[in-house]
Amino acid sequence: MNNKKTYTFLNLATVNEPFNAPIKEALCRVADSGRFIGGPENEEFEQRMAALTGASCAIGVSNGLDALRLILRGYIELGRLHPGDEVIVPANTYIASVLAVSDCGLVPVPVEPRRDTMNIDTRRIEAAITTRTRAIMPVHLYGRIATDDRLLELAARHRLLVIEDAAQAIGARDEHGRAAGAIGHAAGFSFYPTKNIGALGDAGAITTSDPELAQVVSALRNYGCDYTYHNIYRGLNCRLDPMQAAVINVKLPHTAQVNAYRRRLAAIYNSEINNPLIEKPLFEPDDYCVWHQYVVKTTRRDHFRDYLAENGVETLVHYPVPPHLQPCYPGLAGLSLPLAEQLGRQVLSLPITACTSEQDAYEISAIINRYTND
Choose between 134 and 144: whose C-beta lies nearer to ligand PLP. 144
Does 204 engage in binding with ligand PLP (CB under 6 A)? yes
Does 94 engage in binding with ligand PLP (CB under 6 A)? yes
**Alpha carbons 78 and 236: distance in angstroms, whole number:** 16
Q: Which amino acid is at 128?
A: A
Where does this chain touch ligand PLP (CB under 6 A) — which range of 89-97, 244-252, 269-277, 299-307? 89-97
Where does this chain touch ligand PLP (CB under 6 A) — which range of 17-25, 165-173, 277-285, 321-329? 165-173
Does 139 engage in binding with ligand PLP (CB under 6 A)? yes
Does 96 engage in binding with ligand PLP (CB under 6 A)? yes
SS3 of the chain: the string is: CCCCCCECCCCHHHHHHHHHHHHHHHHHHHHHHCCCCCCHHHHHHHHHHHHHHCCCEEEEECCHHHHHHHHHHHHHHCCCCCCCCEEEEECCCCCHHHHHHHHCCCEEEEECECCCCCCECHHHCHHHCCCCEEEECCECHHHCCCCCHHHHHHHHHCCCEEEEECCCCCCCECCCCCECCCCCCEEEEECCCCCCCCCCCCCEEEEECCHHHHHHHHHHCECCEEECCEECCCCCECECCHHHHHHHHHHHHHHHHHHHHHHHHHHHHHHHCCCCCCECCCCCCCCECCCCCEEEECCCHHHHHHHHHHCCECCECCCCCCHHHCCCCHHHCCCCCHHHHHHHHHEEEECCCCCCCHHHHHHHHHHHHCCCCC
Question: CB of 255 within 8 A of CB of 55?
Answer: no
Residues 6+ apart with CB under 8 A from 339: 91, 92, 112, 113, 115, 121
Choose between 161 and 167: whose C-beta lies nearer to ligand PLP. 167
Choose between 71 and 125: whose C-beta lies nearer to ligand PLP. 71
**Number of amino acids touching ligand PLP (CB under 6 A):** 15
Using CB under 6 A as the binding rule, the residues of this chain from 97 to 126 that contact ligand PLP are: 97
- Phi and psi of 113, rounded to 5°? -85, 165
Using CB under 6 A as the binding rule, the residues of this chain from 172 to 191 that contact ligand PLP are: 190
Choose between 120 and 368: whose C-beta lies nearer to ligand PLP. 120
Per-residue x/- marks for ligand PLP, 54-73, CB under 6 A? Answer: ---------xxx--------
Question: CB of 177 within 8 A of CB of 54?
Answer: no
Choose between 97 and 208: whose C-beta lies nearer to ligand PLP. 97
Where does this chain touch ligand PLP (CB under 6 A) — which range of 88-96, 123-131, 237-245, 341-349? 88-96
- For the bound state, the minimum distance from the C-beta of residue 358 to ligand PLP, rounded and expressed in Å, comes to 26
Does 241 engage in binding with ligand PLP (CB under 6 A)? no
- For the bound state, the minimum distance from the C-beta of residue 201 to ligand PLP, rounded and expressed in Å, comes to 10
- For the bound state, the minimum distance from the C-beta of residue 180 to ligand PLP, rounded and expressed in Å, comes to 11
Which residue among 7, 142, 192, 288 contacts ligand PLP (CB under 6 A)? Answer: 192
Nearest CA among 189, 244, 193 for reference residue 23: 244
Does 49 engage in binding with ligand PLP (CB under 6 A)? no
Choose between 181 and 364: whose C-beta lies nearer to ligand PLP. 181
- For the bound state, the minimum distance from the C-beta of residue 98 to ligand PLP, rounded and expressed in Å, comes to 9
- For the bound state, the minimum distance from the C-beta of residue 93 to ligand PLP, rounded and expressed in Å, comes to 6
Residue nearest to ligand PLP (CB): 64
Question: CB of 353 within 8 A of CB of 7?
Answer: no
Does 45 engage in binding with ligand PLP (CB under 6 A)? no
Does 168 engage in binding with ligand PLP (CB under 6 A)? yes
- For the bound state, the minimum distance from the C-beta of residue 280 to ligand PLP, rounded and expressed in Å, comes to 21
Using CB under 6 A as the binding rule, the residues of this chain from 308 to 337 that contact ligand PLP are: none
- For the bound state, the minimum distance from the C-beta of residue 374 to ligand PLP, rounded and expressed in Å, comes to 35
- List interacting residues with ligand PLP (CB under 6 A): 63-65, 93-94, 96-97, 139, 165, 167-168, 190, 192, 202, 204
